Chains A and B, each alone.
Chain A
Amino acid sequence: MSKNVNSTQFRTVDVDAYDEDNYEDDNREVESVGAAEVTERANQVRGLLNQLKSKEALKIALQNPPVGNKDASLKEQNYETVLSVLKSFKAADIDGAVSELDMTEVDVLMKYLYKGFTCSPDKAANLLQWHEKVVAKGGLGSIVRVMVDRKGI
């Protein structure tokens, strides 16, 4: 049998890097939320939870998520804030809280729920209760929007 070419290094070359027409995702950083705003929001939410004003806390926690921000710890912080609010609700109150949200907030909440399913599977039971109510409000469209979203929340 003929001898194979000595070097197979060519197989490791990344062809896409040399393609001029290669599509690059829009990597512009959208005016993302700064660290100060996230911490301030966390404090506000904690305050409201202490006063047992869960519904207001939920609304504030869902404002202006740090979408597409390069800083992962910032996203983690915001995520913890939202999670703390979700935990504080009793099962019966979830319905009322979800009905007060508008469509954008419903979408943001859905994104956090799915993040919760992946990051904290131990809390899945609580998250599933929320999921059921949010789908009743936002419909399958809100789930589609979570899947389609390229910039992580």
Chain B
Amino acid sequence: FVRWSPIVGRFAVGSGARLLSICYFDPEHNWWVSTHIKKPIRTTILCVDWHPSNHLIAVGSCDFKCRIFSAALKETNDKPETSGWMPKLSKFATPLAEFSTQGWVHSVKFSPSGERLAWVSHDASINIVHMDNHESVIRSLTPSLPLLTVVWASEESVVCGGHNNFPSLYNIIGGTSLSGGARLDVKEKKAGGGMSAMARFQQLDRTGDDSKGSSLDTTHQNCIVELRIMKASGATCSQFSSIGMDGKLVMWNLDALATSISGLKI
């Protein structure tokens, strides 16, 4: 899993080798140098996200934990500031926070301002924590199959997708709870009635069953693997795209959906 940092200059690599490498360019040797964060991580790293300030990095791994490390490097003259995540200036690779869930952490993301961290895990839950209060993690147990990816649509809402085949939007209410996921994939009633006689017999021949066909009523026919923001005005996302195991790349227009689905608030 590889990610460029938001303020370009370095990238992070997380892998099954149980360590996180932060790599930066060394002009002296004309070479990209990597430094490792190894200590507390003991399992495969599944996802990595940089904090907007470039100094912190969040890691989700297979030991059911999501951790935040300081990624400020002396070699590149980083001047980190203290924040809710890092109350005092820490050296590189200091673990700053650790959160547990009951399943593999599939995706982790910092909010646009960096104040909140959201992650989804294999126990079908979405977790959000604010930097000022590490103890209170907002945990929402979803009624659907596990989610694989999460992105922030604004400071107060996240869009997630995964094995349930459709993206859904969750809002943070009052800083303490998540509202139920609004399904962003509106089912359209397929107009047009039966199959032609020939198609019917063909299907009877092929599958022994002359019922309609077996496509799901969601846009994606298989799980959503990743969501990415396409267009964002400031901190609020207006369009995002999703790719799925069915091979489709779908672009979603959040603004249009907001007006068409009543009660949807970004």
Contact A144/B146 with A23-B63, A149-B102 known, Cβ cut-off 8 Å: yes
Contact A145/B124 with A23-B63, A139-B143 known, Cβ cut-off 8 Å: yes
CB within 8 Å: A-B pair count: 48
| B145 engages A140 (CB within 8 Å) | yes
A71 to B3, CA, bound (A): 45
Partner among B18, B43, B63, B143 whose Cβ is within 8 Å of the Cβ of A141? B143
Residues of A within 8 A of B212 (CB): none
- Asked whether A138 is an interface residue with its Cβ less than 8 Å from the other chain, the reply is yes
- Asked whether A93 is an interface residue with its Cβ less than 8 Å from the other chain, the reply is no
Residues of A within 8 A of B226 (CB): none
| B123 engages A148 (CB within 8 Å) | yes
| A141 engages B42 (CB within 8 Å) | no
Partner among A137, A140, A149 whose Cβ is within 8 Å of the Cβ of B144? A140
Interface residues of A in 105-119 (CB under 8 A from B): 107
Residues of A within 8 A of B211 (CB): none
| B122 engages A107 (CB within 8 Å) | no
- Asked whether B103 is an interface residue with its Cβ less than 8 Å from the other chain, the reply is yes
A103 to B99, CA, bound (A): 21
Nearest A residue to B18 via CB reads A21
| A144 engages B123 (CB within 8 Å) | yes
| B43 engages A139 (CB within 8 Å) | no
Nearest A residue to B42 via CB reads A23
Q: Closest CB-CB distance, A47 to chain B, in whole Å?
A: 31
Is chain B's interface secondary structure helix, strand, loop, or mixed overall? loop
A149 to B43, CA, bound (A): 18
| A142 engages B102 (CB within 8 Å) | no
Q: Using a CB–CB distance below 8 Å, which chain B residues touch chain A? A: 18, 42-43, 63, 102-103, 122-125, 141-146
Interface residues of A in 71-116 (CB under 8 A from B): 103-104, 107
Residues of A within 8 A of B43 (CB): 23
Q: Using a CB–CB distance below 8 Å, which chain A residues touch chain B? A: 21, 23, 26, 103-104, 107, 137-142, 144-145, 148-150
Partner among B42, B102, B122 whose Cβ is within 8 Å of the Cβ of A21? B42
4 extra interchain contacts, Cβ-Cβ under 8 A, other than A140-B145, A148-B102, A149-B102? A141-B144, A141-B145, A144-B146, A148-B124
Task: List 7 A-B pairs, minimum CB-CB distance, nearest first.
Answer: A139-B143, A141-B124, A148-B103, A148-B123, A144-B124, A141-B142, A141-B143
Contact A138/B143 with A23-B63, A150-B102 known, Cβ cut-off 8 Å: yes
| A141 engages B102 (CB within 8 Å) | no
A53 to B124, CA, bound (A): 33
Nearest A residue to B62 via CB reads A23
Residues of A within 8 A of B124 (CB): 140-142, 144-145, 148
Residues of B within 8 A of A107 (CB): 141
Residues of A within 8 A of B145 (CB): 140-141, 144
Q: Closest CB-CB distance, B207 to chain A, in whole Å?
A: 26
| B141 engages A103 (CB within 8 Å) | yes
Partner among A21, A23, A145 whose Cβ is within 8 Å of the Cβ of B141? A145
A46 to B145, CA, bound (A): 36
Residues of A within 8 A of B123 (CB): 144-145, 148-149
Residues of A within 8 A of B143 (CB): 137-142
Residues of B within 8 A of A103 (CB): 141
Q: Closest CB-CB distance, B144 to chain A, in whole Å?
A: 5
Q: Closest CB-CB distance, B182 to chain A, in whole Å?
A: 15
| B122 engages A139 (CB within 8 Å) | no
Q: Closest CB-CB distance, A49 to chain B, in whole Å?
A: 28
Nearest B residue to A146 via CB reads B123
A22 to B9, CA, bound (A): 34
Residues of B within 8 A of A104 (CB): 141
Partner among B63, B102, B103, B142 whose Cβ is within 8 Å of the Cβ of A139? B142
Nearest B residue to A137 via CB reads B143
Most B-side CB within 10 Å, residue of A104, A139, A144, A150: A144
Residues of B within 8 A of A21 (CB): 18, 42
